[in-house]
Amino acid sequence: MLEIRTAPAPHLAPPRRQPFYATLWAQVTLAMVLAVLLGVASPERAVAMKPLGDAFIRLITMIITLIIFCTVVSGIAGMQDLKKVGRVGGKALLYFEIVSTIALGFGLLVGNLVHPGSGFNINAANLDPKAVSEYAGQAKAQNVTDFLLHIIPSTVVDAFAKGDILEVLLVAVLFGIALSSVGPRCKPVVDLFDALTHAVFGVVNILMRFAPIGAFGAMAFTVGKYGIASLGPLLKLIATFYVTCFFFVLIVMGTIAWAAGFSIFKFLNYIKAELLLVLATSSSEAALPSLMDKLQSLGCSKSLVGLVVPTGYTFNTDGSSIYMTLAALFVAQATSTPLTLSQQLTLMAVAVLTSKGASGVQGAGFIALVGTLSVIPTIPVAGMALILGIDRFMSMFRAMVNMIGNGVATLVVARWEGELDRETLQQQLRG
């Protein structure tokens, strides 16, 4: 009788790790180093690299609204309990306002302790207000009613044409709720959006291959245009802002992350490629698609990521909040403008609203601060001309802290909703 012997099952080798040089963060890092060297060696050629950065940002911006719409629609439509949509949105907004206000207070505290503008003794009458007039035109003061009306687009097509994230989010939420309410009859449409979501993220994976080129162009332009030497006179302000951002992430966000059951250091390591990309392009939108994808990989649901992250880009601008109060105190100190405690608290209260009013605009933090100072005549708006030349270097850390804050907020709300398993989250963060 023949004995049939089966060959032992082959041992399944663990998936091979990606080579160091092939990782996105390594390529972006190399691109940034080369860009700085080019900017120092040949500023004119470095400035000519600007279209590379602009093109990459436009490629990402092109797909952002479609990502948000598809993700939110398919996520909400697949929910069994529509009450979760309102609950998640309410928790997210509550978190945003608390942490953003803490960030404003953090900047105010550091500004009073360090006094980065002391010693300048600038006469505000000698400053040219025309340098800031362009930004003052964009920083339109608006009340709560105006802001809420701005969220509603004139037409559905207009929301996508303008690329306004909040308007697209509103349309997506309404559409998703409608599909969920109708039920099985709309299942083919829901399946279509789910498939389209995967296709859109496939496009993102293709576009991210060009991230090192975009980072090179943006960083080369920054160094070539403004130069390292331009940082000298205002180095104290830049250093103060960078250190303040570092301690805010370490202390405030680190404490929040610890309470939510994860390490802020492991999370920063997990999104290091996105951090470098934002640092190079000075735009948090450049990393929005890949950040959303990574948050879903950590266990956050599509609908929650689609609701919290885009909303956070308007309501949860922690880096911009720190910048606004710190830079406002710098201008006041540099122009020898004394501010009482009540005036500083008024500045902080006005900044709560104006920090949202300029969202989605390039240089939003600078524009929002101009709008804040326009409302409070105590500090001369013309004083903003002092920091106009270094705003690009400030915006790097503004955008980076904004993105970190939105990532942490999403994980906190997901944990709040019971979507995340602590052990699974820790395992994913370890890679």
pLDDT, tens digit (0-9, with 9 covering 90-100), for 211-262: 888 888 888 887 887 777 666 667 888 899 999 999 999 999 999 999 988 8
Tens of pLDDT along 114-149?
988 887 777 666 665 555 555 555 555 555 566 667
Q: What confidence category does residue 384 fall into, taking pLDDT thresholds of 50, 70 and 90?
A: confident
Q: Classify residue 308: in a domain, yes or no.
A: yes
Nearest alpha-carbon partner for 100 in 411, 398, 419, 423 = 398
Instruction: Quote the CA–CA distance of 73 and 302 in Å, as a whole number.
Output: 9
What value does the CA radius of gyration of the chain take, rounded to a whole number of Å? 23
The pTM score is 0.79
Q: What confidence category does residue 106 fall into, taking pLDDT thresholds of 50, 70 and 90?
A: very high
Instruction: Give 17 or 101, the one with higher predicted confidence.
Output: 101
Instruction: Quote the CA–CA distance of 68 and 78 in Å, as a whole number.
Output: 15
Q: How many domains does the chain have?
A: 1
Q: Classify residue 13: in a domain, yes or no.
A: no
Instruction: Quote the CA–CA distance of 114 and 236 in Å, as a whole number.
Output: 9
Q: Classify residue 105: in a domain, yes or no.
A: yes
Instruction: Give 18 or 201, the one with higher predicted confidence.
Output: 201
Q: Classify residue 249: in a domain, yes or no.
A: yes
| pLDDT mean across residues, the chain | 79
Instruction: Quote the CA–CA distance of 141 and 221 in Å, as a whole number.
Output: 31
Spell out the residues 6+ positions from residue 337 whose beta carbon is closer than 8 angstroms to its own: 124, 331, 378, 379, 380, 383
Q: Classify residue 251: in a domain, yes or no.
A: yes
Instruction: Quote the CA–CA distance of 310 and 407 in Å, as a whole number.
Output: 11
Q: What confidence category does residue 299 fall into, taking pLDDT thresholds of 50, 70 and 90?
A: confident
Whichever domain contains 91, its CATH number is 1.10.3860.10
- Which DSSP helix (H) or strand (E) runs through 274? helix 272-281
pLDDT at 112: 92
Residue 102 pLDDT greater than 90, yes or no? yes
Structural domain of residue 229, as residue ranges? 20-429
Sign, Cα dihedral of 341, 367, 264, 304: positive
